[in-house]
Amino acid sequence: MKVSFPFALLLTGAALLAPLLVSATEYPLPAENSRLIGENSTTIVPADNRPLEAIAARYKIGLLNMLEANPGTDPWLPKAGNELIIPQQMLLPDTKREGIVVNLAELRLYYYPKGENKVIVYPVGIGQLGAMTPSMVTSISQKIPNPTWTPTENIRKRYAKEGVTLPPMVPAGPDNPMGLFAMRLAYGSGHYLIHGTNADFGIGMRVSSGCIRLRPDDIEALFSSVPKGTRVQIINQPVKYAVEPDGKRYIEVHQPLSRNEKDDPQTMPLPLTGALKRFIKSKESDSALIEAALKRRSGMPILVNLGEAVSGGETQTAEKAPQRDAAPSEKQKAGVTQAKPEKA
């Protein structure tokens, strides 16, 4: 993903929403053979001149997730009265359901509390171009309340190019870019962390120097519940898919992470694994719907056929499905519920 608009302008509007911010979304954990969680909804943009970041924060969504679901929306000033999709339905990543899983491509962190039948989902900020967050399997090696920040030499150089001279060390407190809580990862020399922020923007975006960044309320909740030694897996999975127990087949496509300024995440080639290719070519998959989903890259699960009932009857293909008599709308394909007016 690539973002061209400056973040500072979003800060003012996001601050207007501070009293309304809520923490991450908690979902009941589905059965092992199921990966679909949540439900999309819609909201109406109010006439209060708030930026899209403020609405995203209210619904615990990252900014780029909102832009994927609502292409063409002005991030500075979404048009009052317009209907926005709130993308709160998703497929769990195809990983071990343990500890923390971060999917870089979708800018989300999944936390599976040990012994609890639930998953908690947080929007995150990740490494920007030139400071990409690496994929890894590691663990939490240290929990640090009130962290200080010592910028690395590379970070200093990057800021210096922009005319900013960083101090040798930023003390703990409200002005610290790492926020009030940090958890160090055991990977490498330990310079990657999951931490908070002193800003109300940049969540659900590529803005960090490689660390995983959360909103203040979210990092406080995560910090308090994640024990030292917790497993952490970071993946880069822009395309997720699933065949649910009822036979329904879903694909969820996100914009891949750009690797340079010339990359266009909307048209970049998507990585297709052998298993994904088999899913696409299956006679039970609707190739036209899949092709459209791969092109659209909405970041939401799309039903690509009606599947087969658990009771076992004849598979109802997309060609036979009632909703294919008329072309399904974007909202129908993404399973969106009714619109709700957005409160000021």
Residues annotated as catalytic (active site), given as ranges: 195, 211
Q: Report the relative pairing of strands 249-253 and 301-305 from DSSP bridges.
A: antiparallel
Tokens 């899209």, located at residue? 52
Helices 274-281, 287-296: axis angle to 10 degrees equals 130
Q: List Cα–Cα distances, 235 to 241, 244, 286, in angstroms.
A: 15, 22, 27
